[in-house]
Chain A
Amino acid sequence: MQLTLWTYEGPPHVGAMRIATAMRDIHYVLHAPQGDTYADLLFTMIERRQHRPPVTYTTFQARDLGADTAELFKRSVREAYERFQPTAMLVGASCTAELLQDDPGGLAAAVGIPIPVIPLELPSYQKKENWGAAETFYQIVRALVPRTPIKADTSPLSSDASARPRANLLGPTALGFRHRDDIKEVKRLLELLGIDVNIVAPYDASPADITRLPNAQFNVLMYPETAMQAAQWLHKEIKQPFTRTVPIGRNATRRFINEVASLANVDPTAALHELDTSSRAAWYARSVDSTYLTGKRVFVFGDATHALAAAAIAQDEMGFKVVGLGTYSREFAREIREAASRYGVEALITDDYLEVEQAVANAQPELVLGTQMERHIAKRLGIPCAVISAPVHVQDFPARYAPQMGLEGANVMFDTWIHPLMMGLEEHLLGMFRDDFEFNEQAGSSHLGHLQPAAADAEGRRAMLRLVAARDSTEMSRPESGATHIATDDLSPTDESDTATTRPNEHTNLAAGAATTSEPAWTAEAQRELGKIPFFVRGKARRNTERFAAERSISTITVETLYDAKAHYAR
């Protein structure tokens, strides 16, 4: 048993739903109790889809157990077929039905409907959402792609030289982070290379489209989390190679263009030229205004694809410093570990939200790039944050075009990541004139009127202190938030108000935390001096000073210690 507060991923059948919901003309009959129908709202509310997911739940009840859950399942299959007239059907069980061992695949076969029925075995007590999505997509591809070897004369590989090469885009799903827009962006890259798109799958693909996957020379693997298995199978079975580079960021996009060009045997020059001349992000990063971004400490957490990409962009394209890198995708732990060692940090492979929170607090970053969960963590700690990966909430399905991939993706990320930060000159002015009654740190960035009100900053710092203090303590108790927000609230950006809520038991917790810490104590004067340092570097100053003191066994930090440490680390 694992104690879980928030989960990064849902159960594997939700992954299957992400595939089914992305597709057309397919239906998923899920053996599950009524409460599992909550999953519909992920798609209709969070992603604001205009149709119900194509899922029929059997919604068996206690009185059905033992008696006729199998019969119920068969009836559901029959009725779903008649009502929705799909051209292929997925059948499977959620966690509860898995325990009943009704064998959805066998039962569905017994019903004998005249379309392909694809049974899904998704072990709910071992696996999670992304795995479920990947497995489902793989099973669909395996079941529907004709395995008869392609005859030489009809093979796309041998088609006449004048025809443009064709590629499939694999991996985009429903509820994916910016998948909708990434598709468009990758199509644009392929267009620049003179390559046609054969099929995009599973997004908007029908079962019939899946059977046509072989009509392409190669596959663009957009999201390894959801399509690696299918891509590998297609490679093995019908000799379709696939791309290894995910084009997120300018450098990766460049590598992607080259990789695709060599797979398709086309000239990359035009596409590379476009990349070099039209990227605003490249110029913005180089412009003098961005000097203040240099060496900003960034903590990165997300699914493996987006975390890897974000870390690379942060370090190489923004000039930040990666101080933390992690993922909840255990399947890709190795890749993350390799990357982390390049940045000289320890990889964080976990799906425990509390562990991530602790790691962020310890790293004291100036910017967090993460998921919806890290957004909360960052808000609690008073650190700016941008979202780079699923799971995300309704506000991260924007109405506007906002891809992560390709040329425009790089621009979008530049804007999104910079947005929560303080502008360069503003930073200096704050440092110089700290007590200006309206232009001060507690007023927050001038371009973010609503963010970081005084209470939020104070709260954030207290939360940070508490978490840091808790590092050495065995016991960690935490206060409650002000207000519960429910899904119905999410359409309005009211969650900001949380940060301003006072928390009555905060101080006791802080005291308890402080009592158990063994870190050097600050004199009141040194504390005040620390308070004069702008808040966005204060965390770093505190951390450095404490480390400096600890290394020299200084038990009391004075103003002198503070400046000694500053001088020490300035070298």
Chain B
Amino acid sequence: MSSPLPTAVPVARCREEKPSVHIPIHRERGQREVFCGLTGIIWLHRRIQDAFFLVVGSRTCAHLIQSAAGVMIFAEPRFATAIIDDRDLAGIADANDELDRVVSRLLERRPDIRMLFLVGSCPSEVIKLDLSRAAERLTKQFLPQVRVLSYSGSGIETTFTEGEDACLASLVPQLQVGTAAQSSEPSNLLIVGTVADIVEDQWTRMLTTMGIRNVQFFPPRRSGDLSRITVGPNTRVLLAQPFLANTCRMLVERGATHIPAPFPLGVEGTTAWLRAAANAFAVSDPAFENATQAARARGMRSLERHREVLEGKRIFFFPDSQLEIPLARFLSRELGMHLVEVGSPFIHRQIMGEELSLMPEATRLVEGQDVDSQLARCREARPDVTVCGLGLANPLEHEGLTTKWSIELVFSPIQGYDQAGDLAELFARPLRRKHLLEPELPVREALPCN
């Protein structure tokens, strides 16, 4: 298989074992209703601006990306699919030769591309097309112009945001190896996970003000910047997104230290997250206050308006992006919402450790999915807000529930102080809207059925 990722559960060299899980986690298995890891391409191709993502898969894979992207990307996108056909399967055409031909044609068309990802899919995994070998071969052919890497975004191995994890993990070997300095003083802070440019800029300003000078973001905006990112024993890793376990493990294997922290969602989460970084770099309390205080106050103010709408309301999360736990923590602690059920496709006990210790004790946490029984529980509970994927949202609205599409939470700037209000608004808006349209509360039957 082409996946460069060993799938073993990471424990080996991870230092901060803190399985402070005091809440029982219910595991569920059944039909899942989530995207596969290919979907990550939709934001990753915008993030790394000189990279191209070539899915090696079926028409289904091509259709998935195009449907999830809404066919709204105007120009030629920086992603495409090499669609495997029956000639490749029957061995009439050698799949590797075919791939080389497609890649050559692509790179001819797009001389601006510096990095090409061959992205594995279920079909390429099942027919055991070795994309890592193909990537090596093609790299030899196209260097120095283009480096070719590979990872798997297949649905049999990755769920939605795990595609970003696989992609970043494939980039880790491209980073500069930091040599062990004499002292164990931290030298650089590496923030891992794609966030909006604006969020990144805000954090850079704040961390610099605190006195943390060497802040780097991974993935970088251009592939050429990869070699400027250092990973070594003096590197401190701070995850900006929760779904990056493999990437985290690989960085730790290169000597870096993971800073355990909650995630920077909401004011409290952002403070704790920045605080964890500050502690790792021995930033003094006054320096921390000085750097964060104004934005923190602004963030708190921005939540007030939304608390009026959300306080006391009940919310139900279908599993989607692994952001569910930090989001639920934010909504419950800062906006006073009641958590009916928090589903997550996968719960990494270490990465979520800090978050879980902040969760209300009685929260019903569900890992995995069995969509039909989840739907049954959701209908039974009739929450005020249901967070779910695009396939479920309109049908649930039709049943009179108010929904929030979870995919928007991955595609919008929601992290940090100045986005805390926007994040709260994403949950408050459906409720406000429902109130605007149906102040008397709905007569569902009156809606035409199509």
Interface residues of A (CB under 8 A from B): 1-7, 9-11, 13-14, 33-42, 44-45, 47-52, 56-62, 65, 76, 79, 83, 94-96, 99-100, 123-126, 128, 180, 354, 372-373, 376, 379-380, 391, 393, 474-482, 484-490, 495, 498-499, 503, 505
Q: Do residues B62 and A486 form an inter-chain contact, with CB atoms below 8 A? A: no
Closest 6 CB pairs of A and B: A35-B36, A485-B72, A40-B391, A35-B155, A481-B74, A33-B155
Measured between beta carbons, the chain A residues less than 8 angstroms from B86 are 123, 125-126
What is the CA–CA distance of A485 and B42 in the complex, to the nearest angstrom? 9
Interface string of B100-139 (1 = CB under 8 A from A): 0110011011111000000000110111000000000000
Distance (Å) between the CB of B301 and the closest chain A CB?
27
Contacts of A99 in B (CB 8 A): 89, 123, 126-127
Residues of A within 8 A of B64 (CB): 35-36, 38
CB distance from B443 to the nearest CB of A (A): 15
How many residues of chain B have a CB within 8 Å of chain A? 83
Does any Cβ of A come within 8 Å of B38's Cβ?
A: yes
Alpha-carbon distance between A241 and B447 when the two chains are bound, in angstroms: 39
* Tally of contacts, chain A with chain B, CB under 8 A: 260
Could you show 10 A-B contacts with beta carbons less than 8 Å apart? Answer: A35-B35, A37-B35, A38-B67, A38-B391, A50-B394, A373-B71, A380-B74, A380-B75, A486-B42, A488-B411
- A34, A56, A60, A123: most-surrounded residue (chain B CB, <10 A): A34
Partner of A486, one of B68, B89, B389: B68
- Whether B42 and A34, one on each chain, are in contact in the complex, defined by CB atoms closer than 8 angstroms, is no
Q: A5-B80, A488-B405 are in contact. Are A50 and B449 (CB under 8 A)?
A: yes
Which A residues touch B123, using CB under 8 A? 95-96, 99
Do A33 and B154 form a contact, CB below 8 Å, given A59-B32, A99-B123? Answer: yes
Distance of A379 Cα from B88 Cα, bound (Å): 36
Bound Cα distance A61, B369 (Å): 13
Answer yes or no: B290 CB below 8 A from chain A CBs. Answer: no
Residues of chain A within 8 A (CB-CB) of B210 are none
The docked-state distance in angstroms from the alpha carbon of A56 to that of B389 is: 16
Given contacts A10-B60, A59-B155, A487-B68, 13 further A-B contacts (CB under 8 A): A1-B95, A14-B60, A37-B391, A41-B390, A44-B394, A49-B395, A49-B450, A59-B32, A62-B7, A99-B89, A125-B89, A391-B71, A485-B70
Q: Does B156 contact A (CB under 8 A)?
A: yes
Give the contacting residue for B78; candidates A4, A49, A58, A480; CB below 8 A.
A480
**Chain A: which residue is nearest B38 at the CB level?**
A35
Closest Cβ of chain A: how far from B441's Cβ, in Å?
A: 19
Q: Which residues of B contact A498 (CB under 8 A)?
A: 74
Which residue of B36, B82, B112 is within 8 Å of A33 (Cβ)?
Answer: B36
Residues in B neighbouring A57, C-beta threshold 8 A: 31-33
Q: How far does the alpha carbon of A227 sit from the alpha carbon of B98 in the complex, in Å? A: 35
In the complex, A484→B407 CA distance in Å?
14
Let me know if A482 and B74 touch, CB within 8 A.
yes
The answer on a CB contact under 8 Å between A60 and B450 is no
List of A residues within 8 angstroms of B390 by Cβ? 40-41, 44-45, 487-488
Nearest CB on A from B46, distance (A):
5
Whether B407 and A96, one on each chain, are in contact in the complex, defined by CB atoms closer than 8 angstroms, is no
Q: Chain A contacts of B95 at CB under 8 A?
A: 1
Q: Which residues, 16 to 39 on B, are CB-close (under 8 Å) to A?
A: 31-39
Q: Is the beta-carbon distance between A484 and B450 smaller than 8 angstroms?
A: no
Q: Is the CB of B68 within 8 A of A34?
A: no
Chain B residues, Cβ within 8 Å of A56: 31
Complex CA gap A76/B370 in Å reads: 11
Which B residue's beta carbon lies closest to that of A126? Answer: B86
A62 to B157, CA, bound (A): 6
Give Cα A61–Cα B154 distance, bound, in whole angstroms: 10
B70 to A5, Cβ gap below 8 A?
Answer: no
The answer on a CB contact under 8 Å between A65 and B126 is yes
Min C-beta distance of B3 to chain A, whole Å:
9
Task: Report A470 CB to chain B, min CB distance, Å.
Answer: 10
Is B392 positioned at the interface, with any CB of A under 8 Å from its CB? yes
With both chains docked as a complex, state the minimum distance between the C-beta of A241 and any C-beta of chain B, in angstroms. Answer: 32
Q: Are B398 and A489 in contact (CB under 8 A)?
A: no
Residue in contact with B70 in the complex, picked from A35, A126, A478, A490, CB distance below 8 Å: A490
Q: Which residues of B contact A126 (CB under 8 A)?
A: 85-86
Task: Please determine whether A52 and B392 come into contact, CB atoms closer than 8 angstroms.
Answer: yes
Q: Do residues A486 and B394 form an inter-chain contact, with CB atoms below 8 A?
A: no
Q: How far is the CB of A486 from chain B (nearest CB, A)?
A: 5
Q: CB within 8 A of A1: which of B42, B85, B391?
A: B85
Bound Cα distance from A180 to B449, whole angstroms: 12
Known: A10-B60, A36-B64, A37-B32. A481 touches B391 (CB 8 A): no
